[in-house]
Structure 1
């Protein structure tokens, strides 16, 4: 059985994207996590981003659906804007060792391809959400033919 996670790509006007460095493995990712039982998708997204960064956000649109075949997790990724009650981003929980606004180049350098592509897809301007599979590190070619944005 698959679990469903949500994650938010929060991009500032200067192009930098909100990222966390996970406390458990040191990896850089966008904030997000698994939905709780009965939780609505936008509510889970807001909760996860707030728990990991201290920011309130509002989803703008779905930008991608990602299947981690190694963990049986389907991730729904949304482009988000900072909410009206925002404030400053900071590490809030045991999950986030650090919170930072990174450039797209920094995200490519610090994140594995399976996670960097989520940000690149969200920032690409594509109208349709990307649909991708990965093994937790690398993308898996499923024959859809959607290129990885640069």
Structure 2
């Protein structure tokens, strides 16, 4: 029996809240029917916490710091594992790159109005989970041979 190496995509997204309790959402060029948390695919060998910072910077111009993970989600059709991080704003102003993101803004989002903004059910559930999260899942990055802890949230 031949062993087949699994092929999965790992994606990250960021739950960012400002001082007015508004959540940063973006509209992606090819998913213009919905708003979503900023994020994208993790590059090969890239630690997840660094990937979420890179994606937020690329999509919004903001520098952020990860605090923890609010949830893990798997899409069986496209073999995508999505990891949602809660992050804190560090610096920068929202700047939208024209090639990928149509719009980015902070929105006063809650359970009562979420359907006005997030139209895709899988994105809605992750956002609501992030809003409700009181505790975070630990996250560690390790380098092996020899074992070295690179980072921990």
Task: Give the equivalent residue in structure 1 for 2:129.
Answer: 121
Q: How does 1:87-126 map to 2 (within 5 A)?
A: 87-105=92-110, 106-111=113-118, 112-126=120-134
Task: Give the equivalent residue in structure 2 for 1:20.
Answer: 26
- Measure how far apart 1:109 and its partner are: 1.9
Task: Give the equivalent residue in structure 2 for 1:57.
Answer: 64
> What's the TM-score once normalised by structure 2's chain length?
0.77
> Aligned-residue CA RMSD in angstroms?
1.5
2:41 and 2:133 map into 1 onto residues whose CA distance is 26
Q: Which string of whole-angstrom CA distances, capped at 9 and with x for unpartnered residues, describes residues 11-45 of structure 1?
A: 11211111100111203111101110111111111
1:32 and 1:93 map into 2 onto residues whose CA distance is 16
1:71 and 1:107 map into 2 onto residues whose CA distance is 25
- Measure how far apart 1:87 and its partner are: 2.0
Q: Which has the larger radius of gyration?
A: 2
Task: Give 5+ residue unaligned stretches, structure 2.
Answer: 1-6, 138-153
Task: Give the equivalent residue in structure 2 for 1:33.
Answer: 40
Aligned length: 127
Task: Give 5+ residue unaligned stretches, structure 1.
Answer: 130-150
2:21 counterpart SS class: coil
> Does residue 47 of structure 1 match 2:54?
yes
- Measure how far apart 1:79 and its partner are: 0.6
> What's the TM-score once normalised by structure 1's chain length?
0.78
